[in-house]
Amino acid sequence: MVSLSQEGTIKKLLNNPDTIIAESLDGLVAAHGDILMLDGNRKFVRRKVLKPGKVALVSGGGSGHEPLHTGFVGEGMLDAACPGQVFTSPTPDQMQEAVVAVDSGAGVLLVVKNYEGDVMNFEMAAELSGAKIARVLTDDDVAVDRAGTGRRGVAGTLVVEKIVGAAAEEGRDLMSLKALGDGVNAVTRSMGVALSSCTVPAVGRPTFEIGDGEMEFGVGIHGEPGRRRDSLKSADDIAEEICATIVNDMGRLQGKPALLLVNGFGGTPLMELYLMYNSARRMLEREGVVIARSLVGSLVTSLDMAGCSITLSLLDEEKLRLWDAPVHTAALRW
Amino acid sequence: MVSLSQEGTIKKLLNNPDTIIAESLDGLVAAHGDILMLDGNRKFVRRKVLKPGKVALVSGGGSGHEPLHTGFVGEGMLDAACPGQVFTSPTPDQMQEAVVAVDSGAGVLLVVKNYEGDVMNFEMAAELSGAKIARVLTDDDVAVDRAGTGRRGVAGTLVVEKIVGAAAEEGRDLMSLKALGDGVNAVTRSMGVALSSCTVPAVGRPTFEIGDGEMEFGVGIHGEPGRRRDSLKSADDIAEEICATIVNDMGRLQGKPALLLVNGFGGTPLMELYLMYNSARRMLEREGVVIARSLVGSLVTSLDMAGCSITLSLLDEEKLRLWDAPVHTAALRW
């Protein structure tokens, strides 16, 4: 908690904005020493014990979205995760070292959120590593167009990591896991809404301005602009707009089993998330969706941003079984 | 999200401040229908399936601290929880009906946080119910004096609920569970720090004022004043002051195994909580404490308040085993 910017004081629990990631990683690994270890230079977090012969799952991205991805390393999900600086892609050498550290020879599947820096750096890392590599690109954010660089990868990424992670644990090969991951991503859609901005520690002031009576529909997990700025709406109106956008994009959902994930952005308490879940569930059920599984929590965050995203992911029998399979990570455990 | 007060607009995900608890409870129980059910009048949340012959554990208190207590109902923890209005004790009839609903004849243990309203209403409910009742009163907050009404029950309450819940599952009798709960409470201490106030939905403006460069040491989970207002400190300085207060109150800790819980108040992201954990752990280890178990997350919250509390709870061999025992609730699962 130190004075940082000319605009005022930053209200965060920290010692120094330059070491916030390092100190937080040290805490994570100390708290979960039974599951995790950190390489000497804090380039990646990995499982303490690897499973020989298993295809390794590696993900990563900018920090500030915790528990994504480091909190999802462990049995049944990732083998390693590379944390970049806040909202900044990890470097190719981080990713390369992670790949080399966890590759048991069966190959490595990279789970990459669709952002230019992440895509480019993971590609470079794949080439440098010399490992047998495949990639699943997540792009579940329906708030943005498919044109140009395409849609952003957001909270749906954790669904890919959970389901593919369970399948990897069963001993499936690299190409079958890639196909499964692409398949999960293809039936997963998300959209978010922000009530407040977030504050990057090293910047010390809010990333964007949002008025007292305003909200941002379709915001990205780095505070990127969404579809539109609007006046404050009720939870039902928000759920209605998000669910309608998702349903329109997915086509006919009548009778289809799905996972409903209501994800907090970091500054929104659980009471409000369950209320949003209640609104979203009623609307999706009206559309005929069968809510077969649910997850509510702050899992793919944007620092201290207030708001939430709603993710719908279709679950066929296989995906349902893999979703239910045991997982033992810092953030998800069953 | 509706305009509520003359001071401005309240930025929360809600439809109507009068129904926020009801809608949130509906969402909780819909999302966790495998574990939970809600009585018809939303007076209490209970396990869907009760265990015959087991002593029942019932807790409750004002809402706004989620997941405490409703998120801790399930195998290995509570049998029922009564949510009051925000920061307001549940009524005696809520508690009475919960007690009657989950009492299998082996008796009911009430876990009550030490606040006047909670204590009084649970006492009245115990009398009305006619059940065989014992009570564990939690008062782990070292920020306030023992004089007068005594110390407040805060995040340490979840440690009591987890350990006693595991013992109840093993079939222990009411008096032995009360003794165990009193024993856990006696070796558990917490203290919190607030960086921001919280906003009660029905009020629509922050509960207290806190300046840009200020923080509140020893704040309660309802925004009650703490030990003192101070200028913003670093995470290390905060951890130092809180840990020193806890250690001074507990006496010699050299070589003693303990659980370290770093608890977010609702508006503080996980990245900062793990950083605080890292600071606190180093300081406690310097005092000779053996950090045997760890828990980091927003588990006993104060709506959207930014800040955190640190809890230390000594674990002898029995308590360690009971802490590790399986738990299956909405918020804690292993």
What tens digit of pLDDT does each residue of A183-216 get? Answer: 999 999 999 999 999 999 988 889 888 988 999 9
Residue B308: its chain A contacts at CB < 8 A? 13
Per the domain annotation, does A210 fall within a domain?
A: yes
Q: Give the residues of chain B that fall short of pLDDT 70.
A: 1-9
**By the 8 A CB rule, do B62 and B85 touch?**
yes
**By the 8 A CB rule, do B24 and A277 touch?**
no
A151: nearest Cα among A119, A114, A203: A114
- Res. A62: pLDDT tops 70: yes
Domain endpoint, select from A187, A209, A244: A187
Q: Pick from B1, B66, B215: which is nearest to A234 by CB?
A: B1
The percentage of chain A sitting over the pLDDT mark of 70, rounded to a whole number, equals 97
- Mutate which: B24, B34, B271, vs A, most A CBs within 10 A: B271
B278: nearest Cα among B221, B234, B227, B218: B234
| Whole-angstrom distance, CA of residue A210 vs CA of residue A208 | 7
For A105-241, list the strands marked E by DSSP. 108-113, 133-138, 188-194, 214-217, 228-231
List Cβ neighbours of B158 (8 Å cut-off, separation of 6 or more). Answer: B68, B72, B261, B299, B300, B332
The answer to whether residues A182 and A193 belong to one domain is: no
- Res. A77: pLDDT tops 70: yes
Tracing tokens 């005092």 back to the chain, one arrives at B287
Residue A194, beta-bridge partner list: A216, A307
Residue B188, beta-bridge partner list: B313
- Res. A316: pLDDT tops 90: yes
Q: In the A/B pair of chains, how many CB contacts fall below 8 A?
A: 213
| Whole-angstrom distance, CA of residue A267 vs CA of residue B217 | 21
Q: Which domain does A107 fall in, by range?
A: 26-187
| Whole-angstrom distance, CA of residue A323 vs CA of residue A257 | 13
Question: Is B277 within 8 Å of A30 when comparing Cβ atoms?
Answer: yes
Interhelix angle for B156-169 vs B174-186, to 10°? 150
Residue A323: its chain B contacts at CB < 8 A? none
Distances in Å between the Cα of A87 and the Cα atoms of A152, A204, B49, B134 are 13, 14, 44, 51
The answer to whether residues A124 and A172 belong to one domain is: yes
Per the domain annotation, does A9 fall within a domain?
A: no
**By the 8 A CB rule, do A153 and A83 touch?**
no
Coil vs helix vs strand at A126: helix
Q: How far is A196 from chain B (nearest CA, A)?
A: 8
The answer to whether residues A173 and A193 belong to one domain is: no
The answer to whether residues B207 and B169 belong to one domain is: no
**By the 8 A CB rule, do B187 and B255 touch?**
no
Total count of domains within chain B: 2
What is the full DSSP assignment across A232-251? ---HHHHHHHHHHHHHHHH-
Per the domain annotation, does B268 fall within a domain?
A: yes
Per the domain annotation, does B9 fall within a domain?
A: no
The answer to whether residues A244 and A157 belong to one domain is: no
Q: Pick from A30, A67, A212: which is nearest to B281 by CB?
A: A30
Residue B236: its chain A contacts at CB < 8 A? 15
Per the domain annotation, does B329 fall within a domain?
A: no
**By the 8 A CB rule, do A307 and A195 touch?**
yes
Question: Is A235 within 8 Å of B1 when comparing Cβ atoms?
Answer: yes
The answer to whether residues B238 and B115 belong to one domain is: no
What's the pLDDT score for residue B255? 97
For the domain that residue B155 is a member of, what is the CATH number? 3.40.50.10440
Q: Torsion angle of alpha carbons A139, A141, A145, A150, nearest 10°?
A: -20
Residue B272: its chain A contacts at CB < 8 A? 12-14, 20, 24
Q: The tokens of B204 are what?
A: 């629509």
Question: Is B235 within 8 Å of A1 when comparing Cβ atoms?
Answer: yes
| Whole-angstrom distance, CA of residue B326 vs CA of residue B334 | 5
- Mutate which: B26, B38, B274, B332, vs A, most A CBs within 10 A: B274
Coil vs helix vs strand at A205: coil
What's the pLDDT score for residue B1? 41
Per the domain annotation, does A100 fall within a domain?
A: yes
Q: How far is A106 from chain B (nearest CA, A)?
A: 30
The answer to whether residues A127 and A200 belong to one domain is: no
Q: Torsion angle of alpha carbons A232, A233, A238, A241, nearest 10°?
A: -100
| Whole-angstrom distance, CA of residue A161 vs CA of residue A142 | 19
State ipTM.
0.96
Question: Is B274 within 8 Å of A31 when comparing Cβ atoms?
Answer: yes
Q: Pick from A8, A25, A304: which is nearest to B269 by CB?
A: A304
The answer to whether residues A201 and A310 belong to one domain is: yes
B190: nearest Cα among B225, B217, B166: B217
Question: Is B272 within 8 Å of A15 when comparing Cβ atoms?
Answer: no
Q: What are phi and psi of A162, to 5 degrees?
A: -70, -50
Residue B6: its chain A contacts at CB < 8 A? none
What's the pLDDT score for residue B178? 98
Q: How far is A333 from chain B (nearest CA, A)?
A: 6
| Whole-angstrom distance, CA of residue B122 vs CA of residue A3 | 46
Q: Pick from B3, B15, B271: which is nearest to A20 by CB?
A: B271
The answer to whether residues A254 and A157 belong to one domain is: no
For chain B, list the strands marked E by DSSP. 3-5, 8-9, 36-38, 45-47, 56-63, 74-75, 80-86, 108-113, 133-138, 188-194, 214-217, 228-231, 257-264, 290-297, 307-314, 328-329
Residue A279: its chain B contacts at CB < 8 A? 15, 23, 27
B301: nearest Cα among B168, B204, B148, B194: B194
Q: How far is B38 from chain A (nearest CA, A)?
A: 14
What's the pLDDT score for residue B9? 63
Question: Is B67 within 8 Å of A270 when comparing Cβ atoms?
Answer: yes
Per the domain annotation, does B333 fall within a domain?
A: no
The answer to whether residues B231 and B161 belong to one domain is: no
Per the domain annotation, does A7 fall within a domain?
A: no
Q: What is the CA radius of gyration of chain A?
A: 19
Domain endpoint, select from A187, A207, A236: A187
B72: nearest Cα among B125, B111, B124: B111
The model's pTM is 0.96
For the domain that residue B274 is a member of, what is the CATH number? 3.30.1180.20
DSSP state of A253: -
Q: How far is A133 from chain B (nearest CA, A)?
A: 30
The answer to whether residues A199 and A260 belong to one domain is: yes
**Is A316 exposed, middle or buried (CB count within 10 Å of its CB: 0-12, 13-18, 19+)?**
exposed
Domain endpoint, select from B166, B187, B208: B187
What's the pLDDT score for residue A7? 44
The answer to whether residues A157 and A211 belong to one domain is: no
Q: How many Cα neighbours within 13 Å face the side chain of A25? A: 25
Catalytic residues of B, by residue number, are 65, 222
Burial readout B77-97 (b: 16 or more C-beta within 10 A, e: otherwise): bbbbbbbbbbbbbbbbebbbb
